[in-house]
């Protein structure tokens, strides 16, 4: 996860560069339920409107939570499927809050209405993220449900009215990339707090439909727009939180923008980016799925590490007998190809490993969605094949 606004804010009010981040326990993205009222084209959890067997019960969830607390996990992102379909969602949230976790709700927003907004407000979510993958019919098509856009907008507005911090989450593919400008207009018009821009990851239906991923040129155009809009807001003193996910090459890409526009500040930003340290799967970001199976992060459902019914999360997470976990925790990671030779490896940490694994079978191969040119990663002229940025 790349916090763009924070880095652009550094151009105005720099803060000291510290050591590489090393928080006590990982953030847990917890898919509490796999059932969903939508069937989006890109869904990593391959959710559908059916009951999935063997999901964790409320008491099991509470037991896991105690372990997470003593393991110093700072935050739980309650997700799904659609988490609001779990009848015990507010009990789970209340318990998490009582234990002192930061809690986020990751929802498609369509089920947020007058009947439950009081309960959502009372649960004390620190943040509610609502997915919105385009305007009107574009969103409905992406999410494969007519009326989904209007329902999600109603959810966003209700949260906003109740003073709940709310964000739009937009996953970009060729189906919706042209609407990014309108999405950013909507963000400002509705005065939404946060914009989470997600690159497509090749997981679940997102893997099956990966031919719809944007080409590198389109990704670069989207990043240029995001950086410009974010910078305008930072300069005006009214910044929204811009965060990107699923492509840590966004860090070096922002650095290049700073080098072009504020060359005297580039070294400071580089220091800050190294402090951030790029991809955190298997280290500072973790995942528990609906059946209690632990994964290196939420895009890794094809890769189980163990189950909380058999072993506490804290033990599974520390166990580096698994070769993938050992490699993810290694610094630098044992990557090959362009990533292995990249001058930005200390910033990007070789990106999500999921796309490389899904497309080549080799978890340490280069990321096919890295949109930086060979020249930009310091390879041009070294006799290594130049991959066209197009």
Ligand X SMILES: C[S@@+](CC[C@H](N)C(=O)[O-])C[C@H]1O[C@@H](n2cnc3c(N)ncnc32)[C@H](O)[C@@H]1O
CA dist 100 and 97 (Å) reads 5
- Select 138 or 198, whichever has its Cβ closest to ligand X: 198
- Select 5 or 107, whichever has its Cβ closest to ligand SF4: 107
Find tokens 């996910």 and name the residue: 245
Binding residues for ligand X, rule: CB under 6 A, are: 36, 42-45, 79-80, 82, 106-108, 131, 169, 171, 198, 200-201, 203, 206, 246
Q: Which does 275 bind (CB under 5 to 8 A by kind): ligand SF4, ligand X, none?
A: none
Residue from the set 245, 252, 292, 296 that interacts with ligand SF4 by CB under 6 A: 252
Q: Which does 348 bind (CB under 5 to 8 A by kind): ligand SF4, ligand X, none?
A: ligand SF4
Residues within window 127-156 making contact with ligand SF4, judged by CB under 6 A: 143
Find tokens 């490896």 and name the residue: 345
78-94 core/surface letters (b: 16 or more CB in 10 A; e: else):
bbbbbbbbbeebeebbe
Burial class (CB in 10 A: 0-12, 13-18, 19+), 56: buried
358 binds ligand SF4 (CB under 6 A): no
- Listed in sequence order, the residues at least 6 apart from 267 whose beta carbon sits closer than 8 Å to its beta carbon are none
CA dist 13 and 201 (Å) reads 33
CA dist 157 and 223 (Å) reads 27
- Select 8 or 56, whichever has its Cβ closest to ligand X: 56
344 binds ligand SF4 (CB under 6 A): yes
- Select 120 or 233, whichever has its Cβ closest to ligand SF4: 120
Report the candidate in 344, 332, 334, 341 with the shortest Cα–Cα distance to residue 384.
341
Report CA dihedral (235, 276, 294, 30) to the nearest 10 degrees: -20
Q: Which does 290 bind (CB under 5 to 8 A by kind): ligand SF4, ligand X, none?
A: none
Q: Which does 345 bind (CB under 5 to 8 A by kind): ligand X, ligand SF4, none?
A: ligand SF4
Residue from the set 6, 9, 39, 256 that interacts with ligand SF4 by CB under 6 A: 39
- Select 246 or 279, whichever has its Cβ closest to ligand X: 246
CA dist 167 and 173 (Å) reads 19
Phi, psi of 331 (to 5 degrees): -140, 115
Scanning 34-42, 67-75, 263-271, 316-324 for contacts with ligand SF4 by CB under 6 A, the matching segment is: 34-42
Scanning 92-100, 183-191, 302-310, 336-344 for contacts with ligand SF4 by CB under 6 A, the matching segment is: 336-344
123 binds ligand SF4 (CB under 6 A): no
Q: Which does 201 bind (CB under 5 to 8 A by kind): ligand SF4, ligand X, none?
A: ligand X
Q: Are 301 and 204 in contact (CB under 8 A)?
A: yes
Binding string to ligand SF4 for residues 175 to 214, with x set by CB under 6 A, is what? ----------------------------------------
From first CA to last CA, the distance across the chain in angstroms is 24
345 binds ligand SF4 (CB under 6 A): yes
Q: Count other C-beta atoms under 10 Å from residue 146's C-beta.
A: 10
Please say whether the dihedral angle defined by the alpha carbons of residues 29, 244, 331 and 380, taken in this order, is positive or negative. positive
328 binds ligand SF4 (CB under 6 A): no
Residues engaged in binding ligand SF4 (CB under 6 A): 36, 38-40, 43, 45, 47, 80-82, 108, 143, 249, 252, 338-339, 342, 344-345, 348, 350-351, 366-367, 370, 372, 377
């Amino acid at each position: 996860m790349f916090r763009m606004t924070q880095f652009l804010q550094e151009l105005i009010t720099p803060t000291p560069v510290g050591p590489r981040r090393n928080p006590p326990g990982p953030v847990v993205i917890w898919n509490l339920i796999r059932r969903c009222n939508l069937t989006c084209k890109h869904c990593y959890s391959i959710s559908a409107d059916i009951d999935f067997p063997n999901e964790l019960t409320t008491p099991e969830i509470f037991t896991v939570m105690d372990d997470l607390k003593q393991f110093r996990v700072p935050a739980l992102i309650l997700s799904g499927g659609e988490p609001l379909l779990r009848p015990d969602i507010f009990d789970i949230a209340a318990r998490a809050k009582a234990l002192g976790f930061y809690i986020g709700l990751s929802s498609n927003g369509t089920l947020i209405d007058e009947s439950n907004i009081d309960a959502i407000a009372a649960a004390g979510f620190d943040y509610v993220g609502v997915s919105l993958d385009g305007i009107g019919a574009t969103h409905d098509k992406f999410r494969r449900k007519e009326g989904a856009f209007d329902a999600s907008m109603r959810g966003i507005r209700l949260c906003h009215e109740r003073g709940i911090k709310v964000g739009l989450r937009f996953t970009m593919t060729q189906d919706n990339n042209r609407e990014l400008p309108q999405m950013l207009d909507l963000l400002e018009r509705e005065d939404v707090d946060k914009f989470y821009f997600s690159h497509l990851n090749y997981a679940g239906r997102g893997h099956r439909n990966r031919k719809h991923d944007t080409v590198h040129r389109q990704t670069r155009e989207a990043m240029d727009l995001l950086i410009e809009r974010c910078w305008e807001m930072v300069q005006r003193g009214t910044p929204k939180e811009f965060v990107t996910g699923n492509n840590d090459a966004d860090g070096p890409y922002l650095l290049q923008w700073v080098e072009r526009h504020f060359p005297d500040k580039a070294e400071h930003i580089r220091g800050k980016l190294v402090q951030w340290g790029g991809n955190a799967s298997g280290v500072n970001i973790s995942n528990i799925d609906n059946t209690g199976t632990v994964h290196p992060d939420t895009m890794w459902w094809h890769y189980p590490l163990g189950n909380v019914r058999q072993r506490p999360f804290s033990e599974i997470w520390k166990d580096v007998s698994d070769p993938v976990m050992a490699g993810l925790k290694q610094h630098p990671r044992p990557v090959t190809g362009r990533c292995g030779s990249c001058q930005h490896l200390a910033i990007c940490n070789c990106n999500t490993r999921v796309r490389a694994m899904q497309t080549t079978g080799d978890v340490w191969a280069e990321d096919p969605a890295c949109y930086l040119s060979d020249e930009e990663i310091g390879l041009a002229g070294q006799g290594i094949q130049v991959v066209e940025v197009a």
